[in-house]
Copies of this chain bind each other. A is one copy, B any other.
Amino acid sequence: LRQGIAEVIYGAGKTAEQIAGIVEAMKKRGQELVLITRMDPEKARHTEELLKQKFEDGAGFRYFDGTGIGICGDFPEKDGVGTIVVATGGTSDIPVAEEAALTAEALGNQVERLYDVGVAGLHRLVAHMDTIMSARVIIAIAGMEGALASVIGGLADCPVIAVPTSIGYGASFHGVSALLSMLNSCASGVSVVNIDNGFGAGYLASMINHMKG
């Protein structure tokens, strides 16, 4: 992360030992905040132990249940221009949403969460019209039919970053249905990142939210 505020480790293919080692190196370089993504609870517990051996304060490691994310250090001050709204279609999309939200927070952004506002229950979304209209960037996260991005894109006038998720079964094809849906959005201002890529959406949202006029 060039912005210097936070460093991110992609935890998926790494052992607890490797992760703890990278955290140690980063901390020694003076990095204040380190975010680790895609870590299952077991690996997180093991990483925590290792960090406790390496640092008196365990490098300030905390694990966010049900998100796959661990963080070492304190969140920075919120220096973004406006608010980033993170919306999901269902509750199963929350891990991806938290990856986006925590990334954005780690990069100094005010984040508002709107979870489980999928289009099959439009009233839940409409109830949050104010939040949507006052956002500076919106991250729309959905699996299955992925219609959320289009509906939000049609309502809001700010950039919408769409994140398809692999949630679903059958013809959702592990996120392909939502991905195609989002790429075909008829609403202007919508762009798309990879399936389940909460980090990428949070990072891009932060970048836009930090642009000076």
Contact = CB atoms under 8 A, between A and B. Distances in A.
A144 B196 contact: no
Contact of A213 (B145, B190, B213): B213
Contacts of A170: 164, 166, 175, 179, 183-184, 194-197
A161 interface: yes
A2 B157 contact: yes
> Number of contact residues on A: which range applies?
35 or more
B194 A159 contact: no
A172 interface: yes
A189 B120 CA distance: 11
Interface in A164-213: 164, 166-173, 175-197, 200-201, 203-204, 207-208, 211-213
A118 interface: yes
Contacts of A50: none
A208 B119 contact: no
A153 B212 contact: no
A199 to B, nearest CB: 8
Nearest to A196: B170
A12 B122 contact: no
Interface string A117-148: 01111100000000000001000000011110
10 contacts: A81-B213, A119-B187, A120-B154, A122-B154, A145-B147, A170-B197, A178-B184, A183-B195, A184-B194, A208-B211
